[in-house]
Structure formats: structure tokens, C-alpha cells
């Protein structure tokens, strides 16, 4: 397989609603931003040079359009080129990066557009006069329609199951520990001008926010969002030919689907998909699951819910099982420790989903792009202090019971050389 | 685009599809639930794993599984109480849901857990529960739910519900 690099990143602001743009207009904005970024990074390309597109779009009901990729394809001027759509729930973005990587690594394309987008707030519930209940309903159709949808399940009640089972086993994450995740990610978002939910919060603020799904409270949950994010991927020879100044190499792509029926799992307090995706991505990148915290500079995690980020620290190998919640709690205001922005392994420096919002198909592409910008030193105000190893990961999960997961490992030029 | 003031044109709209959905090989579960208040699982003819919800083929052995009648008692493995939800269920809040391992099953079933006093401790892991059935059944998962064993008599004496077999 060929070596593949991210040469351009384009991310639109994440917003509650773009009343002034359709999904394909948002997709156009992110594509244009990614082309501009590639050109600032040494290239001289236009959309006409892009040879293929891999689309990450989660939900037809959000877009009010089945096969939305083909309409974006037209609007982006990508006619008569291959375009493939990926839809893997909340993990759509990460999986889309994986397939765009494969498009280039395999030699099928030399310049590939990896493009995610999502609308959602055109969904509207007449009875409550609000978008959210109808957005949640259009997501709930992703649950098993025979046995589980009729029980009133939704994203929060699905994720909370695993967090509650984890709590039963380890006594954590506690409600306070979950609140620290919310404090961190809303706080990091203050430094990210593209984030939807920048907030300076205390643990008490989170604990006092209204209950959504025991024990998740409003501020433990990410907001649904509208946005688009795009990456331009190229093989090594193209990177050299174009004279790319700061290529970010994709060195590992891992994905796994665990059982979508949580009740079939041996242990309900595990997101097995995370473990398998992380192990395979790290192995491909030549990294070690048990030492990963000392091998990467930052992680852009999929923090759909605070308690689930705390568990993900464990699944992704940052800390031993049962230590995720305590890791964030004990490191609060301890510079150089924990997952905080100035910590030993900053997690979600962008603000993640809780801080930025969750524009499903765009999210994992945004987080991969954010990690790439960090490794370039171009992240802006939320740039992490030091890039020591030159490596980062992005992480996407989704689907019923977080059945889908994808992990992407990236490295800058220095990171490629480090052990 | 020029800098003129933007005005969005929005319309109310709805996507609606009608089905005559077949439960296929799982149909027997729903027929027995509706007609006889029985809860059927399946047992793999090779490894003996008891699937609940049922599958007519074992996903691990790639062998057919036989129908088996399950006990209507079990234990809560994990649960939550929902206070904010989708447009389809928002009128029902708060409601309890959880995974219940029926006695003799190897997997757990997602179901509603009702209680006269719906607090987390009441529907915690390890609590014994028993199935209660609606008198008017349609062959859907909403035809039954679970209640803590000590509340069973109270629930089956309500006019709209009854006990199982």
C-alpha cells in the first residue's frame, strides 16, 4: 500500500442551525476551505484536480433526502468521477477517513476528497414546538426496529447503559467524574472559534443541569449540530510532486463493529468496538496499546456523552480499566497531568463533540482534521503546548450501543521517524 | 453571493411510509406473545446457547436454533430512567428501561421496567423482575413489560394488565 497524507483540512463552524445553507451548500464551503488550506500548504490545486470523493453522511431523515451524496456530488462539480458514501452512525466520519485512506493507499486515486456533512435541525416537532425531540426520533430509527425502538430507546439511553454497567463493575465514572469531562470539553471549546458550545463551567453547574437519562444530565450530553468537514488526501509521490510543506501522514486506520445488541455482549460495561479498533490502528502504526499514552501528543475523542469519554480513556489504552473517571478527576488543576488541555495527554483540545457539537457525518472528519492541524502547529488558540512525539489519534464511535468504532493514527514528518 | 439581507424560505414537510412488515423467522415469538402470553427464546442445536431475543439461527455456530419457552422471571442487568426523549415517546416520560436476563437465557432483552416508585434504586442491577402483559395485545414488544417481583400482584390487578402463564 502507498503512504497517504492529509494535505488540506476544511472545517465550517458547527452551529445549531444553518437556516441559510442546505447540506450541499455546507459541503461546498468545507471543500473550498480544504482546497484553500492545501494551497496554503504548498499545493496549487482546484476541485478539478480531485479524482474521487468519499462521503460521510449519517442520516437521510436529517437531510430529508435519500442518497444525498449524489446531489452534493453535482453541486461540488465532481460529476463523472467516483463517489462513495459511508454511513456508520456516529462513527461515520472516522470510517469515511478509513475508506478515503484506502482509496488513495490502494492506488485508485491520487487526490481524494474525504467529505462529511450533516444537517439535522430541519427536523421539527410540532407538539413541543422544538427541533430536538424530532431530531432524536430520526436518530432513534437507527435502533433495532423490532425489539428495541418500541421501548423508547434513544442515543442517550443506549450510551448510558454501558456507563451504568461500567459503574456497577468499577464504582466509576461517578457523576462528578463525568462532570469534569463536560467542564474540560466545554472549556476547551472557548478557544475554538468553530465550536457551538463554548462554556466556562464548574462541576456544580453540570451536576445541577437537568436530568436527561439517569445519571446523564443536559451538560453531560453533546448537542446535535450542523456542519461540514473535508480533508484532501494524497499519496507520497503526489505530496512530493505538489511540494506540500506540512503533510500529516495517516499511519494507522482501525475499525470494528461490536454486537449492536448490548444484551448479547459478555460484558455490558465495555465498548468492545473501541478496543478492537484502537488495537488494530495502533498495530498498523507500529504503536503499543499498553504504552500509547507515552507515544502520542493528543487525542480527539468521540465524546458524545461525558461518561462515555471517561470509559473511552480505558478502551483506547490511555489508563487501565476502571481508571478513566479517576484519571480526569485527580488531574483537575494539576498542570501536566490527565486529559486536560495542558495535561499529559490532551483529549479533545478542540472541545470535542460536547464543546463543538455533533454534526454526525462531519464529526469524525472534523476531529481527524483538528488532530492534523495540531500536528502541523496550525490549530490556533487551542494548540496544545508541545508536540513531542509528532503523533495523534482521532476516534469515532456510533450506532446502537456504540457498535461502530474507528480510530485513526496520524504523524507529522518528525513523528514518522520517532520510535 | 452579494451582501443583500438573507431571507430563508422554509416549508413544513413530512416523510411517511406505510408497511406490512413481516417479522419473518421471528414471527413465532410475536404470535405466542400475542395469543398465549408466552415468551419464547431459541436454543442453538449445537452449542446450546439460549438466545433472547430469539434468532432462528445461531450466529456463532451457523446452525439452526430450536424454539424454547422461557420463564417469565429474570434479573435486571443494567437500567436507566429516561427523563427527556424523542417526539414519539416524550408523553411517556419518565420511564424505566433496562436489560433483563430471563432465567435460563444466555443473553439479555431490552424492555421497559415499570415501578410504582420509579427511582434508580428500585430498578437497579440484580433486582428480580417478572413479566406483566397488556390485556389488549398486538404482537409487539409493547405487549409486555417487567416489574419488580414484589410489585407483581399489584400490577396484574390493574384493569389493563394481566399476569403471564
Query: Could A211 and B6 be called an inter-chain contact, meaning their C-beta atoms sit closer than 8 Å?
Result: no
On whether any CB of chain A is under 8 Å from the CB of B19, the answer is no
Which residue in chain B has the smallest CA separation from A166?
B78
Neighbours of A366 (CB within 10 A): 33
DSSP string, B29-72: HHHHHHHH---EEEEETTT--EESS--SEETTTTEEEEEEEPPS
In terms of DSSP H, where are the helices of A192-350?
Answer: 203-208, 236-242, 272-285, 306-315, 324-330
Q: What is the model's pLDDT at position B1? A: 57
Query: Could A168 and B6 be called an inter-chain contact, meaning their C-beta atoms sit closer than 8 Å?
Result: no
On whether any CB of chain B is under 8 Å from the CB of A148, the answer is yes
The mean pLDDT value of chain A amounts to 97
User: Which residues, in sequence order, are CB contacts of A190 under 8 Å at separation 6+?
Assistant: A198, A199, A200, A351
Rounded CA separation A252/A231 (Å) = 16
Picking from A395, A412, A366, the residue whose alpha carbon sits closest to that of residue A9 is A366
Alpha-carbon gap: A223 to the closest alpha carbon of chain B (Å) = 14
Is B11 a member of any domain?
no
Rounded CA separation A62/A119 (Å) = 6
Query: Could A161 and B99 be called an inter-chain contact, meaning their C-beta atoms sit closer than 8 Å?
Result: yes
Per-residue pLDDT band at A193 (split at 50, 70, 90): very high
Picking from B73, B74, B67, B72, the residue whose alpha carbon sits closest to that of residue B40 is B67
Q: What is the model's pLDDT at position A296? A: 98
Is B15 a member of any domain?
no
On whether any CB of chain A is under 8 Å from the CB of B105, the answer is no
pLDDT, tens digit, 9 for 90 and up, residues B28-65: 999 999 999 999 999 999 999 999 999 999 999 999 99
Which residue in chain B has the smallest CA separation from A140?
B86
Query: Could A151 and B112 be called an inter-chain contact, meaning their C-beta atoms sit closer than 8 Å?
Result: yes
Q: What is the model's pLDDT at position A38? A: 98
Give B-chain residues touching A271 at CB under 8 angstroms: none
- pLDDT above 80 for A28: yes
Q: What is the model's pLDDT at position A240? A: 98
Picking from A159, A136, A209, A143, the residue whose alpha carbon sits closest to that of residue A310 is A159
Is B90 a member of any domain?
yes
Task: Identify the structural domains of chain A with CATH numbers, from first to last.
Answer: 4-123+224-242 (3.40.47.10)
Q: What is the DSSP letter of B157?
A: T
Which residue in chain A has the smallest CA separation from B109?
A263
DSSP string, A371-418: HHHHHHT--GGG--S--SS-EEEEEEEESGGG-EEEEEEEE-HHHHH-
- pLDDT above 80 for A312: yes
DSSP string, B88-151: TTGGG-SEEEEEEEETT-SS-EEEEE--SS--GGGG-TT-EEEEEEESS--SSGGGEEEEEGGG
On whether any CB of chain B is under 8 Å from the CB of A264, the answer is yes
Query: Could B85 and A133 be called an inter-chain contact, meaning their C-beta atoms sit closer than 8 Å?
Result: yes
- What is the domain count for chain B? 1
Q: What is the model's pLDDT at position B160? A: 96
Q: What is the model's pLDDT at position A419? A: 77
pLDDT, tens digit, 9 for 90 and up, residues A238-282: 999 999 999 999 999 999 999 999 999 999 999 999 999 999 999
Query: Could A127 and B87 be called an inter-chain contact, meaning their C-beta atoms sit closer than 8 Å?
Result: yes
On whether any CB of chain B is under 8 Å from the CB of A209, the answer is no
User: Which residues, in sequence order, are CB contacts of B158 under 8 Å at separation 6+?
Assistant: none
Alpha-carbon gap: B96 to the closest alpha carbon of chain A (Å) = 9
Q: Kindly state the percentage of chain B with pLDDT values over 90.
A: 91
Query: Could A19 and B10 be called an inter-chain contact, meaning their C-beta atoms sit closer than 8 Å?
Result: yes
> Residue B87 is part of which domain span?
24-163
For residues A280-309, give the mean pLDDT: 98
Q: What is the model's pLDDT at position A372? A: 98
On whether any CB of chain B is under 8 Å from the CB of A127, the answer is yes
Is B39 a member of any domain?
yes
Per-residue pLDDT band at A418 (split at 50, 70, 90): confident
Is B65 a member of any domain?
yes
Structure ipTM over 0.90, yes or no:
yes
Is B159 a member of any domain?
yes
CA B20 to chain centre: 21
- Give the three cell numbers for residue A237: 509521490
List the single best residue of B65, B85, B99, B146 to mutate versus A (max A Cβ within 10 A): B85
Residue A160: enclosing H or E segment and its boundaries? helix A155-170
Q: What is the model's pLDDT at position B29? A: 98
Per-residue pLDDT band at A52 (split at 50, 70, 90): very high
For residues A349-371, give the mean pLDDT: 98
Is B9 a member of any domain?
no
Q: Report A:18-47 residues touching B (Cβ under 8 A).
A: 19-20
Query: Could B87 and A213 be called an inter-chain contact, meaning their C-beta atoms sit closer than 8 Å?
Result: no
Per-residue pLDDT band at B165 (split at 50, 70, 90): confident
On whether any CB of chain A is under 8 Å from the CB of B120, the answer is yes
Give B-chain residues touching A137 at CB under 8 angstroms: 86-88
Is B3 a member of any domain?
no
Amino acid at each position: 500500500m502507498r503512504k497517504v497524507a492529509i494535505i488540506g483540512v476544511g472545517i465550517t463552524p458547527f452551529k445549531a442551525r444553518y437556516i441559510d445553507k442546505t447540506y450541499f451548500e455546507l459541503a461546498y464551503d468545507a471543500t473550498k476551505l480544504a482546497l484553500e488550506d492545501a494551497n496554503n500548504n504548498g499545493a496549487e490545486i482546484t476541485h478539478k484536480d480531485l479524482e474521487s470523493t468519499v462521503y460521510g453522511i449519517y442520516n437521510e431523515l436529517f437531510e430529508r433526502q435519500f442518497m444525498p451524496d449524489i446531489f452534493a456530488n453535482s453541486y461540488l462539480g465532481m460529476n463523472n468521477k467516483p463517489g462513495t458514501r459511508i454511513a456508520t452512525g456516529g462513527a461515520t466520519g472516522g470510517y469515511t477517513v478509513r475508506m478515503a485512506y484506502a482509496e488513495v493507499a490502494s492506488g485508485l486515486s491520487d487526490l481524494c476528497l474525504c467529505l462529511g456533512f450533516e444537517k439535522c435541525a430541519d427536523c421539527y416537532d410540532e407538539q413541543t414546538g422544538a427541533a430536538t425531540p424530532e431530531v432524536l426520533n430520526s436518530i432513534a430509527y437507527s435502533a433495532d426496529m423490532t425489539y428495541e425502538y418500541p421501548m423508547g430507546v434513544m442515543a442517550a439511553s443506549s450510551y448510558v447503559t454501558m456507563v451504568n454497567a461500567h459503574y456497577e463493575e468499577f464504582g466509576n465514572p461517578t457523576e462528578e467524574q463525568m462532570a469534569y469531562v463536560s467542564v474540560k470539553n466545554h472549556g476547551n471549546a472557548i478557544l475554538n472559534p468553530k465550536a457551538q458550545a463554548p462554556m466556562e463551567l464548574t462541576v456544580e453547574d453540570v451536576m445541577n443541569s437537568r436530568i436527561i437519562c439517569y445519571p446523564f444530565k443536559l451538560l453531560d450530553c453533546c448537542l446535535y449540530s450542523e456542519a461540514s468537514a473535508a480533508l484532501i488526501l494524497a499519496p507520497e509521490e503526489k505530496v512530493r510532486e505538489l511540494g506540500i510543506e506540512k503533510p500529516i501522514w495517516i499511519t494507522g486506520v482501525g475499525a470494528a463493529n461490536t454486537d449492536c445488541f448490548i444484551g448479547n455482549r459478555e460484558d455490558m460495561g465495555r465498548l468492545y468496538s473501541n478496543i478492537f479498533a484502537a488495537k488494530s490502528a495502533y498495530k498498523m502504526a507500529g504503536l503499543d496499546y499498553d504504552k500509547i499514552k507515552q507515544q502520542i501528543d493528543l487525542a480527539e475523542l468521540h465524546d458524545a456523552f461525558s461518561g462515555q469519554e471517561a470509559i473511552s480513556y480505558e478502551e483506547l489504552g490511555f489508563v487501565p480499566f476502571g481508571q478513566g473517571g479517576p484519571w480526569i478527576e485527580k488531574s483537575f488543576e494539576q498542570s501536566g497531568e490527565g486529559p486536560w488541555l495542558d495535561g499529559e495527554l490532551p483529549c479533545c483540545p478542540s472541545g470535542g463533540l460536547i464543546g463543538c457539537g455533533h454534526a454526525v457525518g462531519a464529526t469524525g472528519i472534523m476531529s481527524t482534521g483538528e488532530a492534523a492541524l495540531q500536528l502541523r502547529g496550525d490549530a490556533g488558540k487551542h494548540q496544545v503546548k508541545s508536540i513531542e512525539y509528532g503523533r495523534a489519534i482521532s476516534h469515532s464511535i456510533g450506532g446502537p450501543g456504540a457498535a461502530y468504532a474507528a480510530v485513526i493514527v496520524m504523524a507529522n514528518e518528525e513523528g514518522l521517524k520517532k520510535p | 453571493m452579494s451582501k443583500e439581507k438573507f431571507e430563508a424560505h422554509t416549508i413544513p414537510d413530512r416523510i411517511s411510509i406505510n408497511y406490512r412488515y413481516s417479522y419473518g423467522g421471528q414471527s413465532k415469538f410475536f404470535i405466542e406473545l400475542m395469543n398465549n402470553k408466552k415468551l419464547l427464546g431459541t436454543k442453538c442445536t449445537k452449542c446450546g446457547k439460549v438466545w433472547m431475543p430469539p434468532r432462528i439461527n445461531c450466529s456463532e455456530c451457523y446452525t439452526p436454533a430450536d424454539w424454547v419457552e422461557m420463564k417469565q422471571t429474570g434479573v435486571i442487568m443494567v437500567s436507566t430512567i429516561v427523563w427527556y426523549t424523542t417526539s414519539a415517546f416524550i408523553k411517556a416520560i419518565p420511564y424505566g428501561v433496562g436489560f433483563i436476563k430471563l432465567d435460563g437465557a444466555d443473553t439479555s432483552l431490552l424492555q421497559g421496567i415499570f415501578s410504582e416508585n420509579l427511582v434508580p434504586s428500585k430498578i437497579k442491577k440484580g433486582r428480580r423482575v417478572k413479566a406483566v402483559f397488556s390485556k389488549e395485545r398486538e404482537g409487539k414488544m409493547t405487549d409486555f413489560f417487567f416489574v419488580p417481583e414484589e410489585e407483581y400482584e399489584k400490577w396484574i390487578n390493574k384493569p389493563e394488565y394481566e399476569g403471564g402463564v
